[in-house]
Structure 1
Amino acid sequence: MARARLNSGNTQSEDLPKPKISKELLKRALKIFSYLRPYRGKFILGMLFLTLSSLTMLTFPALLGSMIDAAQGRQTYPWLPADVLYIGGISMAILLFQSIVSFGRIRLFVEIAEKALSSIRKDTYHKLITLPVEFFANRRVGELNSRLSADLAQIQDTLTTTLAEMLRQTISLAFGVCLLVFVCPKLALMNLSILPIIVVAAMIFGRFIRNLSRQAQDQLADSNSIVQETLLGISNVKAFVNEYYEAKRYSNKLDAVVSLAVKGATYRGMFASFIIFCIFGAVISVIWYGASLVSTGEISVGDLTTYILYSMFVAGSMGSFPELYANIQRTIGASERVLEILDEEQEAIIISENNKEIEQPILGSLTFNHVGFSYPSRPDLPILKDISFHVEAGKKLALVGPSGTGKSTIAALILQFYKPSDGSLLYDGKESSQFSLTDIRNQVAIVPQDVLLFGGTIRENIGYGKLDADAEDIVKAAKRANAHDFIMAFPQGYDTVVGERGIKLSGGQRQRIAIARALLKDPAILILDEATSSLDSESERLVQLALKELMRDRTSVIIAHRLSTVKNADQIVVVENGKVSDMGNHVELMSKGSGLYHHLYSLQSAQKAEN
């Protein structure tokens, strides 16, 4: 259900979970408000403006009541002359002052909230990109993106609006009730006995209606997910002639949405009728009772007018608290999810403009010394068991074996995405712990089977290997990677936009862009993870030429299923069930006449001969 909601792009604040507020949860969530600390001076000033704005707003009912009494020749308050023009002038002056402080309050709160939120976004994104690979292996991208969008948007709404509104309504409620009692205690007693009934009913009905609304949104999200999945897999739908099945499935979901929407509308209608009856019943009761008090001379018409206006203030404040409380609940939940990211332990990698500067150069010698490894999420399932091999700097090492035996895990360990569970990994004969993580990754490059290109231009994607490279270096790398000719065939050349994930380029073109990017990085150790396995013959030929150029004079670790591509490797390590089952060069392994490598190579050669 959560996946469907994320897929449908539904990030409305209503859908955010609203946990029960506890002392511990509140204390933890309040950490997010530490981002307001640099702006505490402006925040205090904004709170002062808010208080002044709320208090001046409460003067208007008294002034308007006094104006009505003054028109009848009566003086309501000893300190206020019975002069309509004088009272009107004071009202306009207060209104001007109220407008100025309201502007100041809004301006200050928005500035504070936007700057604080910007800091939260920067810190959250910074933390995300410095977290270890294991963190991302256990979470969906949509979930993390939701934290950066929906959760932070909820926090933004609270910082800019909810906090100020909560204080304003609290002031209005507290002072409003006091003023109601001051103007007419009898009416206040009757009024205050009715309002809690309305508020309690509003909370109960509101929660029930929100649940129905959320169910309808979930069903709608599911229906949108069906549309998305169907359109993405339209070829499969048509190939299996399942158009009717998909249309029926979508129709059933929409029927469920309609049913819930109608049910919700029924209860909303009942609720609206109840609220209208209660509110107007209360108004009629107040005016009826107030009119009887006016007729007996206990209060004036102005006092009745003042009272009615104050009662509207109080009713509005009480009615707003359930939604404000719900917003606070959502914000606490959102804050907790953001803080979960901020509290994660990040990698020991340097994030700065100078993070490309290498302090400890690596020549390229690589040693696995009795390495064992299990993924942190599955510690009871060993992936690598006592792996040992050594490759000299500048030599080519091939890793071969069936799928799922741990070859790509070895590549991940070389890149220090994970640490070995047992044994040690050495670069140039030194323990990996003696090198900074930044230095290791700056000197290791990988060309994977499924190349990921960013959605910018070809120039930007090649330049990603060396951010300060000039145009000449980028062109030189592209030429060495056999990519220059096809790049220049595009109308925009190197400024051609590759599309999301490089969708506008073919597989071979993407591979050569990745090779150019690796050439520009000029690593000491190169990892080729099935770099040509999914290419056609012509593309493979061009990519192989580019790879030959890329592997020149650098340590290369080649992972391949197609064994014809590793015949010329200086050393071949056969990995089977997480262990090294054989080792040697092509001639040595084939001369044994048996073994996994001999079997796989003979099988692939026979298949090639048949084709």
Structure 2
Amino acid sequence: MTNPSSENNKPRLSLKGMKEALKLFRFLSPYKALYLVGMVMLVFSTLTTLLFPILVGEMTKVLEGKSGFSLNQVAMVFGIVLLSQGVFSYFRVVFFAVVSEKATADIRKLVYKKIITTSIPFFENNRVGDLISRLSSDVAAIQNVLTTTVAEFFRQIATLVLGLAYLFYVSWQLTLFMLATFPVTVLAALIFGRFVRRLSREVQARLAEANIVVDESFQSVSTVKAYTNEKLEYNRYSGLIGEVVKLSIKLARYRGIFISFFIVGLFGGVCLVIWFGGNLVLEGHLILSDLVAFLLQSLFIAGSLAGLGEIYASVQRSIGASERLFEILEEPSEVDMDDEPQRLRYKGEIRFRDVCFSYPSRKDVPVLKDIDLSVPAGQKIALVGHSGAGKSTIVQLLMKYYPLEEGDILMDGKSISEINVTELRSNMAIVPQEVLLFGGSIRENIEYGKPGATEEEIREAARKANALEFIDRFPEGLETRVGERGIKLSGGQKQRIAIARAILKDPAVLILDEATSALDSHSERLIQEALKELMKNRTSIIIAHRLATIQHVDRIYVLEEGRIVESGTHENLLSDSEGVYAQLVKMQFDVLVNPKEKV
């Protein structure tokens, strides 16, 4: 998927682009009855609008004494038509608004559903701010096109066709004279549309980039403040907004030129038509009432031409937006939310068999090489090694974040490639080193492990995680808001909520990414107790950074440059004083005993 800023010069008004945009109209299918009623109201409102010039002409005939109707009769018909026009217009707007809002909501939900069900590599290749921009601004760009723009297009075309037919009926000479201005108007509309397309896409791209800056700076606000880079982030954002302003002003200038040209051309044309039509009246080829009706109908046609220019620009924007949305909708999903799999409870027996792996973005860099390990159900193992040795990658492959290249991973003797991803992950829970909570309440964050859990289940999970003691100290208890990403809670409190969430899920396989590496001794003791409770009777995989915390696991696997170089218990591995594990322990012991020498 490409970045919007790289697409600015890509041509949009093409057969392929139009076909892509037309796909969007399938979203109108559930509301076709309402849409058809709206179109009927549109037809009636258009016809009543076209009657206005005719009725004005008829009133003029009455004043000239050339009509078979009285002024009161014509005025009564005029009132009925005007009232009908108001009624038809009201229902046209309402029906199209209902269809537009519902169809747009369907698109937003479908795009979000697609994004949230795609695989981890998709998020690695796309910035969050760009995805948010597509979900908001791109959907907004096509909202009116689905209903209002298409309806207005037919309205303007009908006004042009029926209006021109009436004008030819009144006076073919005057109509041909008026049409002489058409080529200039059409050419101006095309030029205007081209500039609008290019500049509008540039504005949209800069806004997307600005959204990315906001998203990244807000999500990393602690880092921003720690490095006192508020001014840097402000300058980044204000610089992009400044570009948006410049481009928007430039766009406004082109619009101003076009509007000025159109006004001059319109009134200039009207003056010419009055001049030419006046001569026809003086020569007896046309009566005054027909000239009045002709002029009013010409104004309606001119308005339709102006409307077509706006519609053309709107279609240009929607084509680009629809292509970007379909790029997302065509991404493969790893989760099918419409097909609820049978959630089987696994025992938790894990086997890695000759697994080799490189990340999709770095195919030439092997991360894992011939990994072979077994974890009997209920056992606890630890993965240790230097940063980049492949510990986290083993866990990511077990959770099917990435497809396997070589080898196989088995769960209870069955290849995970044959297990539905939802079924597999429903048997796993992870407590990461850096806990990211959702911005709701403590209750919502714990309940995330088991949506719909009872009050008793949530409190029991919090108790087992040693979290209830601090939760009950808050005035609002479980309803306490944790703030964006849990910013209102300490590191130890966030860890215990994450553990409570995992306890509530009751997984067969537990994954721990050293949960106590950056905590004070009191918080570490509480969390170690909670983890001990959590690991009871379940398969546990611990990514260990502090080796003192894994002395009592059943087996330790030592990784180095993507390979398992040692395995065994803590005592067995320490017995080889020259081994990698023994050296790692010695290194950490030296840091603890002589911290100044290591700084």
In the other structure, the counterpart of 1:395 is 379
Q: Tell me if structure 2 keeps the 8 A contact 1:19–1:329.
A: no
Whether 1:34 aligns to 2:26 is yes
In the other structure, the counterpart of 1:580 is 564
Amino acid at match of 2:584: L
Residues 528-578 of structure 1: CA deviation (Å, up to 9, x unaligned) = 013222333332222222111111221110002211111222111011111
Residues 387-438 of structure 1: CA deviation (Å, up to 9, x unaligned) = 0111222211000111112111111122222232111111223322454333
Whether 1:335 aligns to 2:322 is yes
In the other structure, the counterpart of 1:517 is 501
Whether 1:122 aligns to 2:109 is yes
Amino acid at match of 2:278: A
Q: Tell me if structure 2 keeps the 8 A contact 1:368–1:388.
A: yes
In the other structure, the counterpart of 2:456 is 472
Evaluate the alpha carbon distance shift between residue 159 and residue 17 of structure 1 in structure 2; reply closer, same or farther with a 3 A threshold.
farther
Amino acid at match of 1:311: S
Evaluate the alpha carbon distance shift between residue 115 and residue 195 of structure 1 in structure 2; reply closer, same or farther with a 3 A threshold.
same
Q: Tell me if structure 2 keeps the 8 A contact 1:230–1:237.
A: no
Whether 1:320 aligns to 2:304 is no
Evaluate the alpha carbon distance shift between residue 332 and residue 208 of structure 1 in structure 2; reply closer, same or farther with a 3 A threshold.
closer
Evaluate the alpha carbon distance shift between residue 484 and residue 598 of structure 1 in structure 2; reply closer, same or farther with a 3 A threshold.
same
Shift of 1:222: 7.3
Shift of 1:179: 1.7
Distance (Å, rounded) in 1 between the aligned partners of 2:245 and 2:28: 44
Q: Tell me if structure 1 keeps the 8 A contact 2:118–2:335.
A: no
Amino acid at match of 2:586: S
Q: Tell me if structure 2 keeps the 8 A contact 1:399–1:558.
A: yes
Evaluate the alpha carbon distance shift between residue 112 and residue 67 of structure 1 in structure 2; reply closer, same or farther with a 3 A threshold.
same
In structure 1, the residue corresponding to 2:450 is in which secondary structure?
A: coil
Distance (Å, rounded) in 2 between the aligned partners of 1:363 and 1:470: 25
2:416 to 418, 432, 436: 432
1:481 to 465, 484, 488: 465
2:150 to 163, 182, 189: 163
Whether 1:49 aligns to 2:34 is no
1:309 to 296, 304, 316: 296
Q: Tell me if structure 2 keeps the 8 A contact 1:17–1:330.
A: no
Shift of 1:203: 3.7
Residues 293-346 of structure 1: CA deviation (Å, up to 9, x unaligned) = 222332222111111111111111111212212212222222232223333222
Q: Tell me if structure 1 keeps the 8 A contact 2:509–2:538.
A: yes
Q: Tell me if structure 1 keeps the 8 A contact 2:127–2:212.
A: no
In structure 2, the residue corresponding to 1:459 is in which secondary structure?
A: helix
In structure 2, the residue corresponding to 1:171 is in which secondary structure?
A: helix
Distance (Å, rounded) in 2 between the aligned partners of 1:347 and 1:446: 19
Residues 359-381 of structure 1: CA deviation (Å, up to 9, x unaligned) = 3x211221111111223343333
In structure 2, the residue corresponding to 1:382 is in which secondary structure?
A: coil
Distance (Å, rounded) in 1 between the aligned partners of 2:210 and 2:453: 48
Distance (Å, rounded) in 1 between the aligned partners of 2:66 and 2:490: 88
Q: Tell me if structure 2 keeps the 8 A contact 1:362–1:524.
A: yes
In the other structure, the counterpart of 2:486 is 502
Evaluate the alpha carbon distance shift between residue 215 and residue 532 of structure 1 in structure 2; reply closer, same or farther with a 3 A threshold.
same
Distance (Å, rounded) in 2 between the aligned partners of 1:153 and 1:196: 33
Distance (Å, rounded) in 1 between the aligned partners of 2:3 and 2:69: 67
- Unmatched tracts of structure 1, length 5 or more: 6-14, 76-80
Whether 1:186 aligns to 2:208 is no
Amino acid at match of 1:304: L
Q: Tell me if structure 2 keeps the 8 A contact 1:56–1:98.
A: yes
Shift of 1:482: 0.9
Higher alpha-carbon deviation: 416-425 or 549-558? 416-425
Amino acid at match of 2:479: D
Superposition TM-score, scaled by structure 2 size? 0.89
Distance (Å, rounded) in 1 between the aligned partners of 2:592 and 2:58: 101
Q: Tell me if structure 1 keeps the 8 A contact 2:129–2:213.
A: no
Evaluate the alpha carbon distance shift between residue 130 and residue 154 of structure 1 in structure 2; reply closer, same or farther with a 3 A threshold.
same
In the other structure, the counterpart of 2:188 is 201
1:145 to 119, 132, 147: 132
Evaluate the alpha carbon distance shift between residue 247 and residue 477 of structure 1 in structure 2; reply closer, same or farther with a 3 A threshold.
closer
Distance (Å, rounded) in 2 between the aligned partners of 1:251 and 1:139: 23
Evaluate the alpha carbon distance shift between residue 584 and residue 351 of structure 1 in structure 2; reply closer, same or farther with a 3 A threshold.
farther
Q: Tell me if structure 2 keeps the 8 A contact 1:4–1:225.
A: no
Residues 260-319 of structure 1: CA deviation (Å, up to 9, x unaligned) = 677667666655543333222212212222222222332222111111111111111111
Whether 1:605 aligns to 2:580 is no
Q: Tell me if structure 2 keeps the 8 A contact 1:290–1:304.
A: yes
Whether 1:60 aligns to 2:52 is yes
Counterparts of 1:80-99 in structure 2, within 5 Å, are 81-99=68-86
In structure 1, the residue corresponding to 2:180 is in which secondary structure?
A: helix
Amino acid at match of 1:322: G
In the other structure, the counterpart of 1:288 is 275
Q: Tell me if structure 1 keeps the 8 A contact 2:438–2:484.
A: yes
Amino acid at match of 1:26: M
Higher alpha-carbon deviation: 58-67 or 187-196? 187-196
Q: Percent identity?
A: 48
Residues 488-508 of structure 1: CA deviation (Å, up to 9, x unaligned) = 111111100111211111111
- Unmatched tracts of structure 2, length 5 or more: none
In the other structure, the counterpart of 1:363 is 347
Evaluate the alpha carbon distance shift between residue 16 and residue 164 of structure 1 in structure 2; reply closer, same or farther with a 3 A threshold.
farther
In structure 2, the residue corresponding to 1:85 is in which secondary structure?
A: helix
Higher alpha-carbon deviation: 144-153 or 270-279? 270-279
Higher alpha-carbon deviation: 228-237 or 541-550? 228-237
In the other structure, the counterpart of 2:433 is 449
1:380 to 348, 364, 367: 364
Amino acid at match of 2:359: Y
Whether 1:556 aligns to 2:540 is yes
Shift of 1:219: 7.0
2:527 to 538, 543, 558: 543
Residues 494-523 of structure 1: CA deviation (Å, up to 9, x unaligned) = 100111211111111111100000001111
Q: Tell me if structure 2 keeps the 8 A contact 1:74–1:82.
A: no
Distance (Å, rounded) in 1 between the aligned partners of 2:43 and 2:245: 45
Distance (Å, rounded) in 2 between the aligned partners of 1:92 and 1:327: 35
Q: Tell me if structure 2 keeps the 8 A contact 1:109–1:159.
A: no
Q: Tell me if structure 2 keeps the 8 A contact 1:349–1:436.
A: no
Residues 149-179 of structure 1: CA deviation (Å, up to 9, x unaligned) = 2222222211231011111011011112222
Residues 443-491 of structure 1: CA deviation (Å, up to 9, x unaligned) = 1111111212111110111111111321111111111111111111111
Evaluate the alpha carbon distance shift between residue 518 and residue 101 of structure 1 in structure 2; reply closer, same or farther with a 3 A threshold.
same
Distance (Å, rounded) in 1 between the aligned partners of 2:256 and 2:27: 43
Higher alpha-carbon deviation: 227-236 or 509-518? 227-236
Counterparts of 1:269-284 in structure 2, within 5 Å, are 270-284=257-271
In structure 2, the residue corresponding to 1:489 is in which secondary structure?
A: coil
Q: Tell me if structure 2 keeps the 8 A contact 1:524–1:554.
A: yes
Shift of 1:97: 2.7
Q: Tell me if structure 1 keeps the 8 A contact 2:119–2:333.
A: yes
In the other structure, the counterpart of 1:11 is none
Matched length: 591
Distance (Å, rounded) in 2 between the aligned partners of 1:174 and 1:237: 66
Residues 62-82 of structure 1: CA deviation (Å, up to 9, x unaligned) = 11111111111013xxxxx24
In the other structure, the counterpart of 1:8 is none
Whether 1:300 aligns to 2:269 is no
In structure 1, the residue corresponding to 2:348 is in which secondary structure?
A: coil
Amino acid at match of 1:358: R
In structure 1, the residue corresponding to 2:381 is in which secondary structure?
A: strand
Q: Tell me if structure 2 keeps the 8 A contact 1:457–1:496.
A: yes
Give the RMSD, CA atoms, in angstroms. Answer: 3.2
